[in-house]
Structure 1
Amino acid sequence: MTIKTPIIPQKQTFAKVQAPHEVNQKAICVFAATGFFLDTDTYWKDQVVLPAAAINKLDDNGFLLESKPWFQWYNAPKERPFQEVVEEFSELFKTIVSEQIAERSVILPLSGGLDSRTQAIVLKELQANVQAYSYQFEQGYNETRIAKQVANQCGFSFDAFTIPKGYLWDKIDAMLAMNQGYSDFCSPRQLAILNQLKSYQGVFSLGHWGDVLFDDMGVAEDSTIDEQTQQLIKKIVKRGGLKLAQTLWQAWQLEGNFYDYFYARIQSLLQQIDIPHSANARLRAFKSLYWAPQWTSINLSVFEAAHPITLPYYDDRMCKFICEIPERYLSARQIQIAYIKQKAPDLAKLTWELYHPCNLYNYKRYYTYKGLPGRLQHSLQYRVKRLFGKPTIQRNWELQFLGKDNDNHLQQALFSDEFKTLVPIEVTETTYNGFKSENQLHYAHGVNMLLTLAKWYSKST
């Protein structure tokens, strides 16, 4: 059997390899640090994920015999005026979206950012029948306000949802069935409104990965491979992730130390990407090869549980297009910003959430003295709410882990006798007690990952 994987796969495809059927502790340590499995790693030593952009040959029993790349990320910029690039993007984007939706009704998640705004423009241009929606956290920032404005300007139907406290515990087993434990349970907050999403008709048009393809990686183009490795590690390691990974490594008595192992693996994978003269292009390629399939794609399963999905930024043609754009045009989201300004000036005047309250015409003043009043107002509102005991919820784990009822569910999962056979109780206690202290932000990721491991292990044993 031969399986050809896309440049950015939408889902994992597993294969067997000749190895002991044992838990892959080193791979799990990386998972604990970053939130995703690296390269082709899985929970098991005798199982792999088929790599992206490869032609894979498997035998009749599902064992991987051979894997060869059919596409390799490259950097071959074709010099042309910026406006020409914007027009090329516009044409390609419209072609891809038109082919993907194929005159079907469309379900569009909207935010205050750029990716969904570009989709709104092309869907309006295609005269698609669009049901848009957005959501915000209970007691959180009003994320739906900007989304509603986008929908209204485009003439789309729109629903606003609130992600409630403690929804996770009734849905966690369903989430485990969808993502197989290959992502944490707090990231896919759309899980909270899955039943509402099922009531819609049509296909999803999802803007995942546009923010990576159409931006630089924030590194100097002439960075050395060591500098690239260090910068990449900073980008992919979650707060508190290294501490949990190192603690697990020591508890499992693995040889050497985690950081050296992790650093060497990251650098080796970077060196295999043949883009020697552009550090930003190489890091973008790395994220597209390893982060997108093993993290971003995992929770697409929640959308798929409701309706078919389409992803214009995942399209092979879009990936190849990126490889031939001068890097200076990809920095700071220039192409998408120019596209929105030219196609829909009124949408460009709406607030860009990242630079609230600025828009696409004046966002550059956000960090100048002209943007100071807006920043101060936003900070003051946040502090006043916190002073009166109603802090603004910014992260899903705050809704799912804090409070007595949530804590009871969390302890039940983390401190089961079953889980102690995988993760020593001392590791769990240290992480949980750290989270219950004043340092919640530093330990929240660790608790989230231990919960993921606990639920996965309960299903696998």
Structure 2
Amino acid sequence: MYYMKTITTPIIPEKQTFFKVNAPHELDLKAICVFAAIGFFLDEDTYYHDTKVLRPGTKYTLDENDKVVNSNTYFNWYYEPRNISFEQALDEFSTLFEAIIQEQTAGKKVILPLSGGLDSRTQAVALKKMGAQVFSYSYEFENGYPETKIAEKIAKSCGFEFQKYKIKKGYLWEVIDDLVEINGCYSDFTSPRQMAIRNEFAKMGAVFSLGHWGDVLFDAMNLPELSHEHQVDVLMSKLLKRGGLEFAESLWQVWELEGHFKDYLRNRVTDLLNTIDIDDTNARLRAFKSKYWAPRWTSVNLAVFNNQKPMSLPYYDNRICEFICTVPESYLKDRQLQIEYMKRSAPELAKIEWQVHRPFNLYNYHLNKPPYNLPYRMVNKLKREIKALLGNPYVQRNWELQFLGKDNAFFLKQYILESGLDTWISKTFLNAQLSAFLKGDALKYAHTINMLLTLSLFNKKQRHA
């Protein structure tokens, strides 16, 4: 008797689930080129032709060899806005969001990562209202913006325990082998900066409450109505990382693949966008990102949290996704529901500055434009320039801490040039890319180096499997 198992994937899966297909166990070089260009794999793709990933919102039956016997899609993203007032939408969001938070965390000490943005702040309000026991924390880059100051104010306003951490230069090389096992090389290694404090997680509490994807679901891209082709143009510009197109095109040529990479990627994006039957441009592009971006990019490094503690993701909940499909786009635009929820439920917390609009808060962020924001911007720029003159350049991105400098260069060369990656990417090419980063435009080539490092660790992992 054959063994069968049924797997129902959520609308936004928290993890990748792999299955097998009848194909050669060979590297899928076209898929890897896409990965190199955008930082994640599209749709079902993986490193190999014979291994795929289950799609979101689908019920599968798999056999004992992890091959799909049957599949049925139970959810397709849609846009059917109801004729409701903003106040009604706000009431519904408040009730639903608080119910989900309650279900996911009731009776447990909650670990809440706080940022200077809105998603975790919205969670903080709900947790405060339900009287949850919360350990909150935040981190900032060494020589970077002091993000923990805003987070600490939020925690204090809510009465939460709080701890701040600093992301140190070069921590990556101490944890990179563990990260390979955790994310399987399906993401670069500098994006999950939470790896820097992973050893702290054990003492924090019982369950993470994570705010991932709230900023996509509860906002709009503020685009006019666009044709299908122009929507593809927008997605291409959003997907491609700085230098990613050039890097992928170079790999395409090195591997002598047919056609042109840009045409291949555009055709893939076009086909995937065609699976979403929504007329409204903003709702359709949100659905694309939620269907293809969140599961294969955002979800990959959730494993860093889940490797230590159980996690809850209120914005990933199926009910939130279904709710979003019925809310008029004009109510989602500019984070209105989250902002009004906080102003209604925790007005003092809403007065704390919003990082992206600093020094303004949820009541006056519309003043973040000249001439109102000029004094802050001038002072902030002067501070950064003084830091740079003193030999402490302002750090905005994790790769700047992990890749720049003599010590980091040593490890980059070791991993990229001495890992055996040159068995499928020529050493001449690797040397050229590394040299362009170390001696030229670091910002332009940072993504390329990030992906070469990822591919080098993937190659090492496969050789030792």
- TM band (smaller chain): over 0.9
Corresponding residue for residue 409 of structure 1: 411
- The answer to whether residue 428 in structure 2 is matched with residue 426 in structure 1 is yes
Deviation by residue 1:287-329 (Cα, 9 ceiling, x = unmatched): 1111111010000111112210000000000000000000111
Find the counterpart in structure 2 of residue 451 from structure 1: 453
Pairing partner for 2:37 from 33, 38, 63: 33
**Equivalent residue in structure 2 for 1:55, among 52, 56, 59:** 59
Aligned twin of 2:355: 353
Q: State yes or no: 1:147 paired with 2:151.
A: yes
**C-alpha distance 85-253 of structure 1, shift in aligned 2 (>3 A):** same
Distance 1:366 1:5 in 2: 41
Residue 230 (structure 1) aligns with: 233
When the two structures are aligned, how many residues end up with a matched partner? 459
- Residue identity matched to 1:178: I
**Residues 1:270 and 2:238 aligned together:** no
- Superposed counterparts of 1:318-357, under 5 Å: 318-357=320-359
Q: 1:182: which partner in 2?
A: 186
CA–CA distance in 2 between the matches of 1:147 and 1:283?
31
Task: Return the match for 1:103 from 107, 124, 127.
Answer: 107
- Counterparts of 1:80 and 1:201, CA distance in 2: 40
Shift in Å, 1:201 = 2.1
Mapped partners of 2:228, 2:427: distance in 1: 39
Structure 2: runs of 5+ lacking an equivalent: none
User: Corresponding residue for 1:253?
Assistant: 256
Judged with a 3 Å threshold, the aligned counterparts in structure 2 of structure 1 residues 428 and 67 are, in CA distance, closer, same or farther, namely farther
Cα distance in 2 for partners of 1:419, 1:198 equals 35
Which amino acid in structure 2 is aligned with residue 305 of structure 1? N
One-letter amino acid of the counterpart of residue 393, structure 1: V
1:258-290 per-residue CA deviation (whole Å, 9 max, x = no partner) reads: 000000100110011011x21111111111111
**1:107/1:131 contact within 8 Å kept:** yes
Which residues of 2 match residues 84-99 of structure 1 at below 5 A? 84-99=88-103
| AA matched with 1:427 | F
Q: RMSD between aligned alpha carbons?
A: 1.0
How far apart, in 2, do the equivalents of 1:65 and 1:255 lie? 32
Q: Secondary structure at the match of 1:165?
A: coil
Counterpart secondary structure, 1:193: helix
State how far apart, in whole Å, the 2-side matches of 1:67 and 1:381 are: 57
1:72-99: CA deviation from partner (whole Å, max 9, x where unpaired): 0000000211111111110000000000
Check whether the contact 1:207–1:311 (CA below 8 A) recurs between aligned residues.
Answer: yes
Distance in 1 of aligned mates of 2:417 and 2:322: 48
1:155-194 paired onto structure 2 within 5 Å: 155-194=159-198
Aligned-pair CA distance for 1:65? 2.8
What amino acid does structure 1 have at the position aligned with 2:388? R
Alpha carbons of structure 1 residues 33 and 391: separation in structure 2 relative to 1, 3 Å: same
**Where has structure 1 moved over 3 Å in runs of 4 or more?**
none
Please state how far the C-alpha of 1:57 moved relative to its aligned partner: 2.0
CA distance in 2, matches of 1:213, 1:7: 13
Cα separation, 1, equivalents of 2:383 and 2:440:
22
2:207 aligns with 203
Counterpart of 1:355, as a letter, is: H
Q: What does residue range 379-394 of structure 1 map to in structure 2 within 5 Å?
A: 379-394=381-396
Q: Which residue is 2:128 aligned to?
A: 124
Question: Which residue does the alignment assign to 1:437?
Answer: 439
Q: Which secondary structure state, in structure 1, belongs to the residue aligned with residue 373 of structure 2? A: helix
Query: How far does residue 417 in structure 1 lie from its aligned partner after superposition?
Result: 5.6
> How far apart are residue 60 of structure 1 and its match?
1.6
Q: Distance in 2 between matches of 1:240 and 1:90?
A: 41
Partner amino acid, structure 1, of 2:234: Q
Distance in 2 of aligned mates of 1:287 and 1:183: 17
| Among 215, 220, 223, the residue aligned to 2:219 | 215
Give the C-alpha shift of residue 105 in structure 1: 0.8
Q: From the superposition, tell whether residues 417 and 156 of structure 1 become closer, same or farther in structure 2 (CA, over 3 Å).
A: closer
How far does the alpha carbon of each residue in 1:390-443 deviate from its partner, in whole angstroms, 9 at most, with x for none?
A: 111111111111111111111000002611012222332222111113311010
TM-score, length-scaled by structure 2: 0.97
- The 8 Å contact of residues 219 and 231 in structure 1, kept in 2 or not, is answered as no
Q: How far apart are the structure 2 equivalents of 1:77 and 1:375?
A: 39
Contact 1:248 1:427 in 2 (8 A): no
1:307 is aligned, of 292, 306, 309, to 309
Instruction: Give the corresponding residue for 1:75.
Output: 79
Give TM-score scaled by structure 1 length.
0.98
Say if 1:54 and 1:68, in contact at 8 Å, map to a contact too: yes
Output the amino acid matched with 1:53.
G
Q: Which amino acid aligns with 1:292?
A: A
Provide the secondary structure at the position in 2 that maps to 1:74. Answer: coil
Question: Do the aligned residues in 1 keep the contact of 2:350 with 2:363 (CA within 8 Å)?
Answer: yes
Question: Which one-letter code corresponds to 1:21 in the other structure?
Answer: H
Is the Cα–Cα contact under 8 Å of residues 409 and 438 in structure 2 kept in the other structure?
Answer: no
Q: Please list every run of 5 or more consecutive structure 1 residues that lacks an aligned counterpart in the other structure.
A: none
Supply the distance in 2 between the matched residues of 1:59 and 1:442 (Cα, whole angstroms). Answer: 46
Which of 15, 19, 40 is the matching residue for 2:19?
15
Contact 1:135-1:162 within 8 A present in 2 as well: yes
* Structure-2 residue corresponding to 1:363: 365
Range with greater deviation from structure 2 (378-387 or 179-188): 378-387
1:26 partner amino acid: K
> 2:19·2:67 contact (CA, 8 Å) conserved in 1?
yes
Q: Is the 8 A contact 2:80 2:325 kept in 1?
A: yes
8 A contact 1:94–1:122 mirrored in 2: yes
Q: 1:378 aligns with which of 377, 380, 404?
A: 380
Please give the alpha-carbon distance, in whole angstroms, between the structure 1 residues aligned to 2:423 and 2:440: 29
Give identity over the alignment, percent: 52
> Is the contact between residue 110 and residue 132 of structure 1 (CA under 8 Å) also seen in structure 2?
yes
- Is 165-174 or 374-383 further displaced after alignment? 374-383
2:96 and 2:304 mapped to 1: Cα distance?
28
CA contact (8 A) 2:106 2:132 kept: no
Mapped contact 2:243–2:444 kept (Cα < 8 A): yes
**Cα distance between partner residues in 1 of 2:462 and 2:281:** 40
C-alpha distance in structure 1 between counterparts of 2:374 and 2:366, whole Å: 12
Q: Would the aligned equivalents of 2:243 and 2:447 in 1 still touch at CA under 8 Å? A: yes
